[in-house]
């Protein structure tokens, strides 16, 4: 039996770094992934497609692990890095992107992502587990945002 948890997040911040430095960091999937917490492995599948395997998170008698793959497309002139899901890879379907634009003294950075995770847990646990999974995911994204901002300071 499985449950599905859907997560939708967006974040926005401004850094002192110029847009070229922001693009250089965020378009480098392997480099920027190093700032994301609890990544067990990031596997290059070729053609700018990567499989993310997150560390297992224990929830009482249950441990869950998210695995998903995305294809990344960077467009420097548009100031974007977008990722689209590779269906059939793991238990997650994740999409989203970065959007950046020059502002006085730095760069405005916008992040959004949507994740649908299918977890091997009894349906009765959905009400209890779903908020925990959403909180954990949001916490990891917030840590990632803080680390990216520090790297671009």
Segment 90-105, tens digit of pLDDT = 999 999 999 999 999 9
pLDDT at 107: 97
- pLDDT tens by residue, 7-24: 999 999 999 999 999 999
pLDDT at 111: 98
Residue with the larger pLDDT of the pair 113 and 133: 113
pLDDT at 109: 97
What's the pTM value of the predicted model, to 2 decimals? 0.90
Nearest 5°: the CA angle 47, 49, 53 is 150
* Domains and their CATH numbers in the chain: 3-151 (3.30.530.20)
Strands 106-119 and 3-15: antiparallel
pLDDT band at 132 (very low <50, low <70, confident <90, very high): confident
pLDDT at 58: 67
Poorest-pLDDT segment among 30-34, 117-121, 133-137: 117-121
Give the DSSP letter string of the chain.
--EEEEEEEEEEEEESS-HHHHHHHHT-HHHHHTTSTTEEEEEEEETTEEEEEEPPEEETTEEE--EEEEEEEEETTTTEEEEEE-TTSTTEEEEEEEEEEEETTEEEEEEEEEEEEEE-S-GGGHHHHHHHHHHHHHHHHHHHHHHHHHHT-
* Average pLDDT estimate for 34-48: 96
pLDDT at 60: 60
- pLDDT tens by residue, 49-83: 999 999 987 656 667 889 999 999 999 999 999 99
């Amino acid at each position: 039996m499985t449950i599905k948890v859907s997560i939708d997040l967006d974040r926005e911040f401004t850094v002192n770094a110029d847009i070229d430095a922001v693009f250089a960091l965020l378009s480098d999937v392997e480099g920027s992934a190093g700032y994301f917490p609890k990544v067990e492995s990031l596997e290059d599948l070729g053609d700018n497609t990567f499989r993310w395997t997150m560390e297992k998170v224990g929830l009482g008698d249950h441990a869950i692990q998210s695995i998903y793959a995305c294809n990344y497309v960077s467009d420097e002139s548009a100031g974007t890095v977008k990722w689209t899901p590779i269906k059939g890879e793991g238990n997650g379907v994740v999409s989203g992107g970065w959007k950046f634009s020059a502002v006085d003294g730095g760069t405005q950075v916008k992040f959004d992502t949507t994740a649908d995770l299918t977890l091997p847990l009894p349906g009765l646990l959905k009400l209890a587990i779903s908020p925990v999974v959403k909180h954990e995911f949001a916490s990891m994204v917030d840590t990632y945002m803080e680390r990216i901002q520090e790297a671009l300071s």
